[in-house]
């Protein structure tokens, strides 16, 4: 079964957005035409995301909702109860994609246990697909050994023009596993990059649109977040932007291994 084709190329992220801010962001995104929404148990905003969805006029069948299981809930007897709690907060009977948010700290819970419980959750209809996030090659290899590559819909990793993560991307691709890019704009750092500014000027686009279009042209899904409606609208237009081979080559040369998300005690040894 090929689960990789079902992940929308473009969605809205909700990392670090709380309370009314996340309600407004998701409401604006849905109003503008976004249909994929990414959240997580640890973000503490699932209920607010759910409220925005419930208050919108968009049918659930048109939406693609992703959440992520937090490390506290990795034990095989905690995965499904925690996911059911996420569903209650989100106001839905299923999510479209459930990810393991980080590898288990110190491998305290066997990966096969967590993935096995997620497979059960999928069989029960609580989630349509399962996947992983922040996995290096070693952990991705173990995940494949546990449940098979065809059951891993994506590996969601930090990926931007400044951190192109080619080793893990190449390995995932060799296994037929899709990549979702988060932090594609590097907390806004890439927006003033001279190369991106030059490319944006040639296309009459914004630097954010260029960075997002670059990631999508490489086949990644992107989930940029914004609290401003104008930025949400601008980001959407990245889907129409086609970069030239020269543009892509220039952005490829920007890679400098600059990682912005590397929490001590959680992050694996990166490739």
- Predicted confidence (pLDDT) at residue 2 exceeds the cutoff of 50: no
Is residue 17 within 8 A of residue 28, CB to CB? The reply is: no
First-last CA distance in the chain = 28
Topology of domain 4-252, per CATH? TIM Barrel (3.20.20)
Lowest-pLDDT choice from 2-6, 41-45, 159-163, 205-209: 2-6
pLDDT given at position 34 = 98
pLDDT of residue 6: 80
Domains of the chain, by residue range, sit at 4-252
Q: Using an 8 Å Cβ cutoff, are 101 and 70 in contact?
A: yes
Question: Model confidence over 121-169: pLDDT tens digits?
Answer: 999 999 999 999 999 999 999 999 999 999 999 999 999 999 999 999 9
Q: What's residue 155's pLDDT?
A: 98
Helices (H) and strands (E) in the chain, counts: 10, 8
CB 222 within 8 Å of CB 212: yes
- Buried/exposed 71-83: b ≥16 CB within 10 Å, e otherwise: bebbebebbbebb
> Which residues, at least 6 apart from 56, have a Cβ–Cβ distance to it below 8 Å?
27, 30, 31
Cα 161 to Cα 212: distance, rounded to the nearest angstrom: 10
- Residue 3 pLDDT > 80, yes or no? no
Average per-residue pLDDT for the chain = 96
Q: Is the pLDDT of residue 259 over 70?
A: yes
Q: Taking a C-beta distance cutoff of 8 angstroms, is the pair 196, 173 a contact?
A: no
Contact partners, residue 256, CB within 8 Å, separation at least 6: 162, 163
- What 8-state DSSP symbol labels residue 134? S
User: What is the reported pLDDT for 57?
Assistant: 93
E strand map for the chain: 12-13, 36-38, 64-69, 95-100, 127-133, 154-158, 178-182, 221-222
The token pair that represents 247 in the structure block: 């543009």
Closest Cα partner for 112 from 138, 146, 84?
146
Supply the residues annotated as catalytic: 43
């Amino acid at each position: 079964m090929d689960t990789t084709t079902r992940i929308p190329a473009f969605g809205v992220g909700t990392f670090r957005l709380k309370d009314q801010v996340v309600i407004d962001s998701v409401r604006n995104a849905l109003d503008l035409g976004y249909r994929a929404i990414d959240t997580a148990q640890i973000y503490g905003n699932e209920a607010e995301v759910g409220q925005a969805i419930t208050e919108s006029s968009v049918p659930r069948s048109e939406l693609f909702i992703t959440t992520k299981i937090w490390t506290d809930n990795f034990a095989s007897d905690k995965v499904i109860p925690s996911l059911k709690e996420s569903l209650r907060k989100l106001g839905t009977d299923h999510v479209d994609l459930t990810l393991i948010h980080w590898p288990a700290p110190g491998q305290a819970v066997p990966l096969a246990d967590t993935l096995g419980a997620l497979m059960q959750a999928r069989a029960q209809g609580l989630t349509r697909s399962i996947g992983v996030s922040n996995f290096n090659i070693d952990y991705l290899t173990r995940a494949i050994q546990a449940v098979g590559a065809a059951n891993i819909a994506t590996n969601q990793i930090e990926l931007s023009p400044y951190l192109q993560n080619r080793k893990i991307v190449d390995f995932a691709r060799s296994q037929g596993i899709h990549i979702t890019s988060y932090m594609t704009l590097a907390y806004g750092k890439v927006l003033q990059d001279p190369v991106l500014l030059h490319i944006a000027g040639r296309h009459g686009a914004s630097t954010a649109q260029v960075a997002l279009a670059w990631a999508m042209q490489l086949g990644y899904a992107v989930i940029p977040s914004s609290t401003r409606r104008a930025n949400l609208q601008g980001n959407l237009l990245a889907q129409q932007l086609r970069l030239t081979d020269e543009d892509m080559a220039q952005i490829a040369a920007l890679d400098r291994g600059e990682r912005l998300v590397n929490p001590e005690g959680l992050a694996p040894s990166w490739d």
